Amino acid sequence: MMLNFKYILSFIIVGSFISLQSCTDLSVNPTDSIVKEGGSAGFIPGDPDELLNSSYKDFAAFTDQNNMYALGTHTSDEMIPPTRGVDWGDNGVWRTLHAHNWDATHTSVLGAWNSLHGNAYKTNEIIASGPDAQQEAEAKFLRAFFTYHAMDFFGQVPFREVTEGPDVDPKVLTRSEAYDFIKSDLESAIANLPSTGPSATNSRASKASAYFLLAKLHLNAGVYKAADPAGPYTFDVADMNKVIEYVDLIKAEGYDLDSDYFNIFTANPSPEIILTSAEGSAQNRWMMTLHYSQNPSGWNGFTTLADFYSKFEDGDSRKSQDPKLDGSEFGGIGKGFLAGQQYDNDGNILIDTRSQAPLIFTPDVPLAGAATEKGIRAIKYHPADAGEYIFMRYGSAHLMKAEAIYRGGTSDKSALDMINELRTIRGANTISSIDDNSLLDELGRETYWEGYRRTDQIRFGTFTNEWSFKTVTDANRVLFPIPSTALASNPNLEQNAGY
């Protein structure tokens, strides 16, 4: 059993971290990769099935509100982390992300780096432990999944073979090399991955999940293959056609749009659900935003920005779903954006226990010094019926295909037809034309708070724009810095430009 061996750090020196606490624990995983004493160059093969199960447990890190989720969402135009008195101050770690003032010592940057590379290394161990064909395919998918996020966030990716000891400095893949590595892993895995149709508990790799990640990879190829990470970006028609091909393959596996938007995020069956996590919980997604006075009592944290909320028209089912107000547990909580007067489970006006005034969520919210009621909240996973945490769903795939057509890909449908098909199902008015701005807005309306807004903004060239409380427009912010501790331990790493 591999658990009997001593774990040591191999290519990153990580000191002790202060655990930041506000309304919740912001813990980080202090390992980047591991080697084990004994065997050839420190590696002893383990049980592939046990190792694979352990690797799936690493999905839990994505359900936290910190690290990967924070880097992908707080840095975007869809979420703000207001400080309310001393609440959510945390030495400025949240405000720094929103304002684009992070540096190489930021705890979320380091936490994401450690988690992603440590998880990717574990998949190398599976592949080196004599797995059967499906186990190896699943391990390759998981390696591609973790490496994709590392490439997206940091540009360069250190890689260590399991036969290399801690005295060997890991080689470093460029962004382009990492792209090719991820693509190769996914393409070689597909044949031995199972065909799994839609399920509320799709928590293992499948052909559809590999198709989804390949589509995402090709959609962003212009970014990941660019000579300059900040662009300009060129989107090759061949890549766009691959996006269309892979989304069509997903649909052939039985996936489609759900006519009930918020059903997607429940434990009920949905035709959209491609990949979920059986580990961790969606609970953080409502606790991080709900007010102290609501039931359940949340951490009164994150809200959306007024400009983002204004992108939604009335009647769009994605905007909100009214609370039940029928006396049932959690019946006072709606879904989607929670704006205006809030109510208890029986429909009585809810009172802010701190100000003793009616609890009314308003869109005007400052980054610092916010009153407890400021800011419109958003929840997709509801405490009454939340399902497993979702990584991939068909609504995102549908929009990837629409964008690929918009960027020159060939299909029997137009991009406008694809957008209007989605908008009709969601109860929004059809539109007569699309451009970059309207397409990015549609992506925001469909996938808000799901963790990928930063990647979309970079692809559309808006990530370095100004928006509320964010005035930094430095081009280098499209990549995060390599953590200082990683640079100190691996001379093959070079700090990203501008840091």
pLDDT at 36 over 80: no
* CA distance readout (Å), 154 to 116, 148, 175, 259, 438: 11, 10, 8, 37, 28
pLDDT at 14 over 60: no
End-to-end CA distance of the chain: 42
Q: How many CB atoms lie within 10 A of CB 356?
A: 7
Which pLDDT score, from 0 to 100, does residue 166 have?
Answer: 82
Mean pLDDT of all residues in the chain?
A: 92
- State residue 126 phi and psi, 5-degree precision: -60, -50
Give the pLDDT confidence of 191-219 residue by residue, as tens digits.
999 999 999 999 999 999 999 999 999 99
Give the pLDDT confidence of 404-414 residue by residue, as tens digits.
999 999 999 99
SS3 167: coil
Q: Are the CB atoms for 146 and 119 separated by under 8 Å? A: yes
* CA distance readout (Å), 472 to 82, 368, 440: 18, 17, 21
Q: Are the CB atoms for 115 and 29 separated by under 8 Å? A: yes
How far apart CA 334 and CA 262 sit, in angstroms, is 11
Q: Are the CB atoms for 369 and 83 separated by under 8 Å? A: yes
Name the β-bridge partners of 43: 40
- State residue 49 phi and psi, 5-degree precision: -65, -45
Which pLDDT score, from 0 to 100, does residue 26 have?
Answer: 42
Q: Above pLDDT 70, what percent of the chain? A: 92
Residues 6+ apart with CB under 8 A from 248: 401
SS3 314: coil
- Dig out the tokens for 298 from the structure: 């949340």
DSSP letter (8 states) at residue 320 = E
Give the pLDDT confidence of 146-159 residue by residue, as tens digits.
999 999 999 999 99
Of 189, 32, 20, the C-alpha closest to 91 is 20
Work out the pLDDT band at 43, boundaries 50, 70, 90: confident
Domains, the chain, ranges and CATH? 1-171+464-473 (1.25.40), 288-387 (no CATH)
